[in-house]
A and B are shown apart, each in its own frame.
Chain A
Amino acid sequence: MSAETITCVGCPMGCRLNVQLEDGKVTGVDGAGCGRGAAYARQECVCPTRVVTTLVKVEGRRAPLSVKTSRPVPKARIAACLKAIHEVRAVPPVRVGDVLVRNICDTGVEVVATMEISKGGT
């Protein structure tokens, strides 16, 4: 039996949720102003995930390439994902949606480009 306090991000109310956990399962949520709070707590306290957006270096250019994970990755893996993504080097031309890493840190998630870089550009 353990407890955690988190802030709901469902709306600007920002309800403080007191979440009771047992064996990694949510057994109770107090403080939620609406049903969305309980649903958020069940996801956030058991397996919080985030889409990671960051930058990749580009061969021969100062300006970096912006990338994102194609789906949310577990919050606990963000640091490892960032480290791996920062070792990638992109080669122009790049189109939006081009896959740079197929399976980042064994999460089953791709890292894709979010901008385009033409071949001749600096």
Chain B
Amino acid sequence: MTDIDTLIIGGGPAGLAAAVAAREAGCENLLLLERDEALGGILRQCIHTGFGLHVFKEELTGPEYAQRFADQVRALKIPVQCGTTVLDVTGERVVTAVSPQRGIQRFRARAIVLAMGCRERTRGALMIPGWRPAGVYTAGTAQRFVNLEGWMPGRRVVILGSGDIGLIMARRMTFEGAEVLACVELMPFSSGLTRNVVQCLDDYGIPLLLSHTVTEIHGRERVEGVTVAQVDAQRRPVPGSERRFACDTLLLSVGLIPENELSKAAGVALSPATSGAVVDEALQTSVPGLFACGNVLHVHDLVDHVSEEAARAGRSAAAYAQGTLGTQGTGLRVVDGPGVRGVVPQFVNAARLTDELTVMFRPAAVYRDASVVVRIGGEEILRKKQRILTPGEMVRLTVRREQVLPRAQGRELSVEVMP
């Protein structure tokens, strides 16, 4: 058993930023464990641009963004073990990991940062009728095959779901010589960024079929086609609207789910709204000494925000390991008001706030010219007008410490959208 002050699980954008921040906060005995062969997580396969505008004030590709943080980790001499899979985390912060080089290892940590990221929703969750032919992939798996491993999954492609990874893959597959026939979206709006709809679909004449879904996958050994139908307001296929696309590949971009197997093993309470841990303003989970950040906490749109959030988790974990985080003070419960889903954090220890409080959430629907209102115990403390709010774009608000502190006597903080 090896003693570690702050142990970080995951070497993607969240884990890297947490490690750098923990080191900068004075943590000497630090260790980062990563399952893949290299640092960077999902950024390694996101070879498109659009990363870093907030953190580095320039537009980088995913691998470049990851490299900047990996370079910092190297410069700060933070110990890293790649190729190492964590098998178990206990509530007493004992971590079991395995790797081909070192076999089974056990660590006892003073503080742990959970930064395992998320996974894609798969075909099994969608219940599309048909056989189980080859050629059905999640968009991120196809992205890894193409961008990291150098394999093309197919030549004629239909994409189900208009999440950002699906949109990005429409352009990627086109660039590498495939024909993308359509992007099919169940909802009446795209869940991806407008910029991606324009620059990944419109630019290449790829149709976006809103309020449509795939109702059947054809082919027995290999995908031979899909049937696409329009859906009504209840999202049921409209009879007679079916059409068949001849394709050899179906990519799925139908949602991301935080990967919380280890969190559950440690007894961390999860939020049904985010599928991630319930945390306080220091990003501490319900298990003392366990912190969570990045896509394992809640699925983000922008890596810049992941880095920012993870830095806070890293600082908190380092403080906890040093015994300086402070005990939990007055607990303010944070609740989702009307039009709001999955506010993070779910608890605020007002006395412990050092600067400002950052709250993040997703709007429950598309709202135009609406206001976001923050209340404590019914009293309005912040109102912000927004021209547009969509579920595809996470909202971040900062509330000043002075606005929270005087009103923090065991009451409720609520966030709501007022149309």
16 A-B residue pairs with Cβ-Cβ distance under 8 Å, sorted by A, are: A6-B198, A7-B197, A7-B198, A8-B194, A11-B388, A13-B194, A50-B199, A51-B59, A53-B47, A53-B49, A63-B148, A63-B149, A66-B147, A68-B61, A75-B203, A114-B47
Q: Smallest CB-CB separation from A69: which chain B residue? A: B49
Residue of B149, B175, B176, B387 touching A13 (CB-CB under 8 A): B387
Q: Output the least CB separation between A28 and chain B (Å).
A: 21
Q: Smallest CB-CB separation from A66: which chain B residue? A: B47
Is B48 an interface residue when CB atoms closer than 8 A count as contact? yes
Is B392 an interface residue when CB atoms closer than 8 A count as contact? yes
Which 10 pairs, one residue from A and one from B, show the smallest C-beta to C-beta distance?
A66-B47, A115-B63, A14-B194, A9-B195, A114-B61, A64-B150, A62-B150, A13-B388, A114-B63, A53-B48
Interface residues on B, range: 20 to 34
| Known pairs A9-B199, A116-B67 / 10 extra A-B pairs, C-beta < 8 Å | A7-B197, A8-B194, A12-B388, A12-B393, A13-B387, A50-B203, A53-B48, A55-B146, A66-B47, A66-B63
Residue of A7, A12, A116 touching B392 (CB-CB under 8 A): A12
* Interface SS majority for chain B: helix
List of B residues within 8 angstroms of A68 by Cβ: 47, 49, 61
- Contact status A114-B203, CB under 8 Å: no
- Contact status B203-A55, CB under 8 Å: no
List of A residues within 8 angstroms of B64 by Cβ: 96, 114-115
Q: Output the least CB separation between B156 and chain A (Å).
A: 19
Cα–Cα, bound, A28→B152 (Å): 44
Is A20 an interface residue when CB atoms closer than 8 A count as contact? no
Is A54 an interface residue when CB atoms closer than 8 A count as contact? yes
List of A residues within 8 angstroms of B175 by Cβ: 52, 54, 82
Q: Which residues, 164 to 204 on B, are CB-close (under 8 Å) to A?
A: 175-176, 193-195, 197-199, 202-203
